[in-house]
Amino acid sequence: MDKKRGVSQTQLDYLQGLKRRQYRITAVQILIFVVFLLLWETAVQLGWIDGFIFSSPSRVLKTFGMMWKDRSIFLHTGITLAETLISFVLVVVAGVSISVVLWYNTELSEILEPYLVVLNSLPKSALAPLLIVWLGANMKSIIVAGISIAIFGTVLNLYTGFREMDPDKVKLIYTLQGRRTDVLSKVILPGTVPLLVSVMKVNIGLCLVGVVIGEFIGARQGLGYLIIYGSQVFKLDWVIMSIVILCLIAMALYGVLGIIERRCRKDG
């Protein structure tokens, strides 16, 4: 037994085993990725697949280097990232606000619930052309496209979480002569923080998808524009490079929210 920390040798061995397991998993993941890149590059170099159509890691890196030199990659990546973050923040603020209003007014929630379900089930890509027509081919319509992907699911999930909060805690507030606002501030909002963070982890990817869909249709800048333009003029190196950057952005944003989620659980 470690007297200073109160941890037994068995527990230490178990924790070290978990760390070794995580290292193995990470090493295998990296190995799979490296092998994939090597096979891809080898297949192109040996002529097994057409490099013009499928590109290759070396061609993607060369394209990235060229766009790095003229700084255009920073412009396109920055615009897509900014649109995603703006739509994400608006989804979180609007989602929480609407959910609180529905929780306060149960009659209104019963009226709107079927409409929210229908709108959440609607393929949002069908709305993107209409948004371009209504709002114009600008950043505003792209941000709205990103919001439309995530907002309805956010409201439904948060409102369901509000309703399923521990009824005993709610009764305790009322027993202590508390009001509905006290229930909201003392029980509902603090108790649904883990749910909110989980919803945010889903929403960041949905907002990115919505933004890219909007850029496909009505943008002249951004990674979505590079993808659609590159496919039209057969600059497929642009397409593959943009897809890789989108994957990296999604991983980075998801990782940041994952860190926030772990801290919330630890504090809870």
Mean pLDDT by 10 residues, the chain (268 residues): 58 82 90 94 90 88 92 93 94 93 88 88 79 83 90 91 81 77 81 85 90 87 92 90 92 87 71
Per-residue pLDDT at 180: 77
**Cα dihedral value 101, 107, 109, 113, nearest 10:** -160
Per-residue pLDDT at 6: 56
Cα separation of 66 and 78, whole Å? 17
pTM of the full structure? 0.84
Alpha helix stretches (DSSP H) within 122-235: 128-135, 139-163, 167-175, 180-183, 189-191, 193-218, 223-232
Contacts of 106-109 with C-beta under 8 Å, sequence gap 24+, read: 109/159
User: What tokens appear for 12 in the block?
Assistant: 């230490």
Per-residue pLDDT at 2: 47
Look at residue 7 and give its three-state secondary structure: strand
What sign for the dihedral angle of Cα 94, 146, 112, 193? Answer: negative
Per-residue pLDDT at 83: 94
Of 160, 153, 183, 166, give the one whose Cα is nearest residue 92. 153
Per-residue pLDDT at 4: 46
Per-residue pLDDT at 3: 45
